[in-house]
Amino acid sequence: MGTEPVLDPIDIVDRDDLRTALSSLRQQAGLTIRQVAAAADIPFSTVGGYFAARHLPAPAQSEQFARILRACGVTDPEPWLDAVFRVRRKLGRPPVSDTAPYRGLESFQPEDAEWFYGREALTQILFDRVADTAVLMIVGPSGAGKSSLLRAGLIAHLDSPSALMTPGPHPLTTLAFHDEAPILIVDQFEEVFTLCEDADERRSFIDALFTRRGVVAGMRADFYPHALRHPRLADALQYSQIIVGPMTDKDLRRTITEPARKARIDLDDGLVELLVRELAPTARDGDGAHDAGALPLLSHALLATWEHGPKGRMSVEDYRASGGIDGAIGQTAESIYAQLTAGQQDAARRLFLRLVHVSEDTADTRRRVNHSELIIGDRDTETVLDHFVSGRLLTADADSVEISHEALLIAWPRLRSWIDVDRVGMRIHRRLTEAARQWEDSGRDQGALYRGGRLSAALDWVDHGTHRQDLNPLEREFLDASLASERRRLRRTYQLVAGLVVLALVAATLAAYAFQQRGAANRERDLAISRQVAITANRLRETDPALAAQLSLAAYRIAPTVEANSSLLASTAVPQVTRMVRPSRALQAVAVSPDGRLLAAAGATKADHEILLWRLDDPARPVLVDTALTGHTGPIYTVAFSPDGRLLATGSTDRTIRLWDVANPNRPTAIGEPLTGFEERVLATAFTPDGAILAAGGADKTVRLWNISDPHRPSPIGQPLSGAKGAVQSIAFAPAGKAFAVADAAGAVHLWDLAGLRATISVPSRVNAVVFTPGGKTLAVGSNDAMVRTWNVEDLGRPVPAGEPVKAATGWINALTFSSDGRVAAVANADSAVQLWDLAGRRLLGTLPHPEPVTAVAFLHDDRTLLTNSADGIGRLWTVPGPVLPRSDKTVTTVAFHPRDRLLAAAGADVQLWDVTDANRPVAVGPPLLAPPGYDRMAGTVAISPDGRTLAAGTRQGNTVVLWDISDRHAPVRRKAALTGPTSLVENIRFSPDGSLIAVASRDGTVHLWQITDVHNPEKLATLKPDSGPVHMIAFSPDGRMLVAATDAGSVPRWDLRDPRSPRPIDPPLRASQDYTYSVTFSPDGRTLAAGNADGTVQLWDVRGSTHATRRLTGPDGYVLTLVFSPDGRRLAAGTGTGQTWLWDFDAHQIRTIAVLETSRDNIWTLAFSPDTHLLAAANGGIRVTDADPAKVADKLCAALGDVISEAEWHKYASGGTYRNVCR
């Protein structure tokens, strides 16, 4: 097929004509875009933009454009320049409007200075200091804008000649080309550590810089440790350094608004505020500043928004559609990748992996690669380069290619997974690349070839999978030559060995040794991978507990290391989560049927026009229905079930509403024709409580009602309801009657009934969610200022505020719902969390973390499961309230289990009983047990008698222990008799094993002993005074014959209780530590006594006669405040002052660490095992219940994981391991 004839320039009248003509001109010349760029000496991305007519050359760039034309064979460029002028004039806008006002991931160049805003003050400081020092260091995190500051800031404003260089693998050679420049700019200085492997050359280069003046070097902050190893660099960093930190709020806004103003682009109201708000949460120190390294994310999001929308305007909608701050880079990259063929996608993987330098001790960096290394000439690679350079994600010039910014390494999950899947292999490949280059430079000297271990490692990597395809021709030739040379060497070696028998014996011995070593190496590899995956799971738990649980399980399956066990058990310290991952696309709009058995969900991307259904008969195992609902022609923003669950209404950007019959979820069907009438997209739908009326609102600021008594023949009710000042965001009907509330984006809530508008409530922020409480008397409103406001609406025409607003979130409130009893409100917010609130009591009950902003939330019918949906597109089903029992006062310091079941007593300012039969759904049992009249509060100490009938708790004022009869746990009765005697705070209470005695330890250094055989008439038997300061904890031996205490003196006093009326001290006291001893406990068989100390040790004694410690356990970080053996004696648990819980497997022959839980940073005051040993409860101000058996936890997680970790997620987080289904 021939090329299209080139359009005569005189006939070019618009952008399409120009694009067609330039492309035909290039094809006629037989050139690629890169070849044109090389011939014209113009950046690849600029040339690509001209040929795509994405931007037009400005008048000042006429000579540059003329060089492009000459490279394509044009001898007279004037007619073409005139054509460009005509196209500009026809666009009707100033010429600059056709130039992208933002640079995306590319650094600003000197010629871009007119677009460079926000760093004016820093540029002036740099300009003033450049001539005063030998080497001036410009330091900041990746993404702070160092390169742009040096190029568009400094170089563009220098009067003196300057030279710009990047070190590369041979910085001395590069420096030699710039020896005469008065001012030398060294960008990406960290390359001397990442790319230059010759330590002598590195040192010489650094020394050479300090022989000059006027050197400015930009370096990433995470390379400080490397730079400080060089004394002269250390001096420069101490005395001649400029920090590139976060921009001020004012400068950040200028970065956004000034380029737009210069390009005559209108910014939507709210876009700047949205950008600033979404950039600032990357800081975690509460100062509201953006992360200094986040500027590339902002720049690319701005460029993507500009490219996405109509020229002359940038809107919030275009910004959202382009992916936003966090998603634009990944979305752009993934969009380009999706356009490639399978062969081109594989070429993309090979290309990008060559452009990355992986490190063991610093963050990964981009790598500049010469074209000769990239197998240039390969058509797939050429195509990949063209696409990604045009998308500004790669930067290419005549000599080399590099990733435009290191932000891509983090922001594009696919690239991250490519890197993580074979980090070791990438390091092998990079060393191979450099060795092959040196071999070539040496004239292919045989001495430069690989041999021995280096050759073996390279061959192992190449032969694994398809890595041979990753090699370029030079690397293949080098490896083949190395292998041939090694074979020749081995043949010569074999000829020296006398006798085949000897050879056979040697071979057999070596084979056996190799097999043994391979097995050991595999075990070591598995241990390392297990530990690394567990660490990753722990890091993710605060943002994505569902994924963290699966990674913990994966680590455990690979190898049950301490780290894996710890991570696995820690997964039970957060609410259990079931994942629902939609095939290929993200979820956006979701709804749950009233009976909780069906979930409907839809996406809101431009290519997403279907609704999926999940059956939730068992919420732990959601089942995706095969049949998707199709018919909409645009993204779907709202779904709603009718009250009987038989109908589903969906609203879309196609301005229609569709009704679906979902009575049989396996065979859903469309009902009738779409409901129409909206002028813009539909955003909200709701049914009346009787299901007879459907209300819907949209971006056209109207609400429309339909009578759907016969859903096959819906009929409009009256005229559209107007009055909203902004897009209708949410609609809610009161549980009874026809009253409904309408929230709009302008911050107003309109109260209607079928007779008309009754009242309007103004809210000082955009309203995204309105909901009536189940009783219908209260309306709750969630808005962008993170507030939930409530009104009493019993008189619909006169709403009255119901208390002060509650700051219920840390970001925009996107959705709001109540449990069926109205006691719990679930608040979904843009700061990636759902908060559970008791709004009446203004109490935060818990937080459910997510990796992305939460867009939807709904309780299932029994209130035991909460559905959430996040911007990452994954639906999650949470068991609530979770294993952290809700306490707002943070006073709980003691927990104690009932001896026969999972009834847990938690003592703080009061004592509350909990049923933790299902640890993920604890239920409060009975009312709180309060201090008796005359006492302010309880002391936070509690114990339950061995028969389970009596509960004892101390009062805050001291001197009294109160007894309750808990035979009826739902209605405990305080006994009239109380125990008095201590003169200070009650620290600890213990019942003797037979329940006849009760011992009370006091802060005044005394232990009081009562007989309670007759619980109605307790008898004081003795007061024990160990004379060693406050007593923190006491323990009875299992046979009841001995009582021991933990004291401030670091000693463990003992008393013989065979005659409890006359306890006899057992001398001498056991020495546990030179510091305080805080805790003591006996093993159930009575053989071992353990004491926990302030120095982080646990002292063990065999108490069958010896007074000498048998062993000292170390490891805990901080005071060991509590110790407890499991009822079966197999485990010992310790809680520390730093929030750690240590678990040891304990038997007479071996003690080994099982797990270390770090689920809290608060003091672990007490621990308690459940009678069946499976649960471990911790008092740390609050109450946390975790599983204590890794094998049982693994089974439990597999029963409710939902959609298992994907292969992409596995390769992203489980680097080096083979993908596996963690539950098979």
In 803-915, the DSSP E strands lie at 806-807, 813-818, 825-829, 833-838, 843-849, 854-859, 865-870, 874-879, 884-885, 894-897, 903-907, 911-915
Q: Tell me the two tokens of residue 1145.
A: 């497997």
* Assigned domain for 83 exists: yes
* Buried-state track 375-390, b at ≥16 Cβ within 10 A, e below 16: beebebbbbbbbbbbb
State residue 96's pLDDT score.
35
Cis peptide before 182 (omega within 30 of 0): no
pLDDT number for residue 55: 61
Average of per-residue pLDDT across 991-1020: 93
Residue 788 has pLDDT above 50, yes or no: yes
* pLDDT tens digits for range 553-563: 988 988 898 88
Q: What is the pLDDT of residues 1058-1077, one digit of tens each?
A: 999 999 999 888 988 888 89
Higher pLDDT: 782 or 303? It is 782
| More confident position, 999 or 1163 | 999
Judge residue 636's burial from the number of C-beta atoms within 10 Å of its C-beta, 0-12 exposed, 13-18 middle, 19 or more buried. Answer: buried
> Cβ contacts of residue 424 below 8 Å, gap of 6+?
1216
pLDDT at 291: 59
Lowest mean pLDDT among 230-244, 464-478, 953-967, 991-1005: 464-478
Same domain, 371 and 412: yes
How confident is residue 1148, by pLDDT bands cut at 50, 70 and 90?
Answer: low
Sign of CA dihedral 584, 586, 591, 595: positive
pLDDT at 43: 64
Tell me: do 227 and 285 sit in the same domain.
Answer: no
Identify whether 960 is part of a domain.
Answer: no
Mean pLDDT across the stretch 706-735?
92
CB-CB contact of 1097 with 1079 (8 Å) = no
Could you list the beta-strand ranges (E) of 1129-1174: 1131-1136, 1141-1146, 1151-1157, 1166-1169
Residue 360 has pLDDT above 90, yes or no: no
Q: Sign of the C-alpha dihedral, residues 568, 571, 573, 575? A: negative
Task: Specify if 1103 maps to a domain.
Answer: yes
Query: Residues 423-443: what's their mean pLDDT?
Result: 83
Closest by Cα among 513, 1182, 1203 to 875: 1203
DSSP bridge pairs for 854: 870
Under the banding of pLDDT at 50, 70 and 90, the label for residue 513 is: very low
Least confident of 233-242, 907-916, 1163-1172: 233-242
Q: Phi/psi of residue 342, each to 5°?
A: -60, -45
In 508-635, at which residue ranges do the beta strands (DSSP E only) sit? Answer: 577-581, 589-592, 598-602, 610-615, 623-624, 629-630
Q: What is the DSSP letter of 805?
A: -
Q: Is residue 1208 part of a domain?
A: yes
Final residue before a domain boundary, out of 200, 227, 245: 245
Sequence letter at residue 859: F
Predicted local distance difference test score (pLDDT) of residue 375: 66
The C-alpha atoms of residue 149 and residue 470 are separated, in whole angstroms, by 36
* Gap between the Cα atoms of 307 and 328, Å rounded: 12
Say how far apart CA 823 and CA 817 lie, in whole Å. Answer: 11
What total number of domains does the chain contain?
8
| Chain centroid offset of residue 675 CA | 40
Token pair recorded at residue 225: 């440790």
Count of C-beta atoms within a 10 Å radius of residue 155: 20
One-letter amino acid for residue 754 of the chain: L
Query: How does residue 819 score in pLDDT terms, banded at 50, 70 and 90?
Result: very high
Q: Which of 214, 219, 245 lies closest to 234 in space, CA to CA? A: 219
Statement to judge: residues 548 and 620 lie in one domain:
no
pLDDT digits (tens, 9 = 90+) for 695-708: 999 999 999 999 99
Please give the average per-residue pLDDT across 38-51, as a whole number: 72
Residue 361 pLDDT more than 70? no
Name the amino acid, one letter, at 21. A
Q: Given a cut of 90, is residue 943 above it in pLDDT?
A: yes
Among 417-431, 661-675, 803-817, 923-937, whose mean pLDDT is lowest? 417-431
Tell me, yes or no, whether 750 lies in a domain: no
Lowest mean pLDDT among 29-43, 128-142, 707-721, 939-953: 29-43
Do 59 and 191 belong together in one domain? no
The residues, ordered by sequence, that sit 6+ positions from 335 with a Cβ below 8 Å of its Cβ are none
Whether the CB-CB separation of 1003 and 1024 falls below 8 Å is answered with no
Q: What's the pLDDT at 195?
A: 80
Phi, psi of 1031 (to 5 degrees): -100, 120
DSSP bridge pairs for 590: 601
Q: Is 202 helix (H, G, I), strand (E, B) or coil?
A: helix
Contact predicate 1092/1121, CB 8 Å: yes
Strand pairing category for 215-220 and 183-186? parallel
**Exposed, middle or buried, 8 (CB in 10 Å: 0-12/13-18/19+)?**
exposed
360 and 334 in a single domain? The answer is: no
At 1083-1097, the pLDDT tens digits run 999 999 999 998 889
CATH of the domain at 622: 2.130.10.10
Nearest Cα to 301, choosing from 324, 331, 272, 276?
324
What gap in Å lies between CA 780 and CA 1097, rounded to an integer? Answer: 52
**In terms of pLDDT, which residue wins out, 240 or 522?**
240
* CB-based contact 1063:1091 (threshold 8 Å): no
Q: Give domain status of residue 210, yes or no.
A: yes
Name the β-bridge partners of 963. 952
The sign of the CA dihedral 547, 549, 552, 554 is: negative
pLDDT of residue 282: 39
| % the chain with pLDDT above 90 | 33
pLDDT at site 895: 95
Neighbours of 801 (CB within 10 A): 11
**1156 shares its domain with 1030:** yes
Given this model, what pLDDT does residue 149 score? 93
Let me know whether 551 and 621 are in one domain.
no
**pLDDT tens digits along 526-536:** 787 888 888 88
587, containing H or E segment: none
Domain end call among 671, 695, 722: 722
Assign residue 199 the CATH number of its domain: 3.40.50.300
Residue appearing with tokens 């609400």: 703
Whether residues 613 and 716 fall in one domain:
yes
Residues 605 and 592: beta-carbon distance below 8 Å: no
Contact 1008, 1000 (CB under 8 A): yes
Band of pLDDT at residue 60, cut at 50, 70 and 90: low
The fraction of the chain above a pLDDT of 70, given in percent, is: 89
pLDDT digits (tens, 9 = 90+) for 279-329: 764 333 344 455 556 787 788 888 888 877 777 788 877 787 777 776 777
Average pLDDT, the chain: 84
pLDDT of residue 198: 82
Q: How confident is the model at residue 503 (pLDDT cuts 50, 70, 90)?
A: very low
Residues 559 and 630 in one domain: no
The tokens describing 500, both together, are: 């085949």
The most confident of 482-496, 869-883, 960-974, by mean pLDDT: 960-974
Nearest to 725 by CA among 703, 747, 740: 747
pLDDT at 1172: 92
- The answer to whether residues 200 and 302 belong to one domain is no
Q: Taking a C-beta distance cutoff of 8 angstroms, is the pair 1147, 1131 a contact?
A: no
Under DSSP, the state recorded for 109 is P
Q: Of 399, 420, 441, which one is at a domain's C-terminal end?
A: 420
pLDDT tens for each residue of 845-860: 889 998 888 889 999 9
Structure tokens at 258: 């000034």
pLDDT at 729 over 90: yes
User: Which range marks the domain in which residue 19 is found?
Assistant: 9-98
Cβ neighbours of residue 560 closer than 8 Å, sequence gap 6 or more: 530, 1190
Mean of pLDDT values over 712-725: 91
Neighbours of 813 (CB within 10 A): 27
Task: Look at residues 134, 202, 194, 200 and name the one whose alpha carbon lies nearest to residue 174.
Answer: 202
CA end-to-end span of the chain: 55
For residues 305 and 238, state if they share a domain: no
Q: Is the distance from CB of 1031 to CB of 1006 less than 8 angstroms? A: yes
For residue 33, the model assigns a pLDDT of 75
Would you state the pLDDT for residue 457? 72
Confidence of residue 145 (pLDDT cuts 50, 70, 90): confident
Angle in degrees, CA 51, 53, 54, rounded to 5: 115
477 three-class SS: helix
Instruction: For residue 538, tell me if it sits in a domain.
Output: yes
User: Residue 972 belongs to what H/E stretch?
Assistant: none
Token digits for 979?
Answer: 């125990």
pTM of the entire predicted model = 0.60
Across 274-278, 673-677, 1142-1146, least confident range = 274-278
Helices (H), ranges, 263-341: 271-279, 295-308, 316-321, 324-338
* Residue 1035 sits in the same domain as residue 1141: yes
In a domain, 850, yes or no: no
Distance CA 257, CA 1121 (A): 57
